[in-house]
Structures are given as C-alpha cells and as structure tokens.
Amino acid sequence: MGELFYPIFGYIILFIRYPKKEKRRQVLKDFFDDSYSVAGVQIVLSTFGIILLVFLLVSLAAVIYSIFVHDASVL
C-alpha cells in the first residue's frame, strides 16, 4: 500500500506548499532525492513522530499528576 499512497501524498503536499513547478522540482531534487515517495514517507513519519511524542508527554504528565494527587502509598 505504501508504494501507492506515499508518492500521491508527497505530490499533493509538495503541490500545496510549492505552487510553482520550478520551485517544487528544485525542492524535490534537493531535499527528497527527486522522489515523491521519499517526500511522502518523510512527511507521514514526521507527523506520526510528533503525534507519538505528544501522546507520551501527556501520558507522563498524567502519571506525575496522579502520583501527587492520589496517595503515594499505592505505589
């Protein structure tokens, strides 16, 4: 599924971010090895990483909050 999804997603994102064809081709060549698939993978994985990091920080904050609010002898 990735072979189909990532190039399409990479093309759409680069098309939205860089409407001019020359600039889009230059960015694709310089940053994404002239591959829309690489662009799609980088964008999806960086977004997934940010979401995962936020989830972990919220979970850690919830654990720390529960330790201070509830009786610590439970631990």
State the alpha helices, DSSP H only, in the chain: 2-17, 21-31, 36-69
What's the confidence (pLDDT) of residue 12?
Answer: 94
Tell me how long the chain is. 75
Q: Is the pLDDT of residue 72 over 80?
A: no
pLDDT tens digits along 16-61 = 999 999 999 999 999 999 999 999 999 999 999 999 999 999 999 9
Angle at 20 between CA 44 and CA 15, to 5 degrees: 25
More confident residue, 70 or 21: 21
* The token pair that represents 9 in the structure block: 């997603």
Domain positions in the chain are 2-74
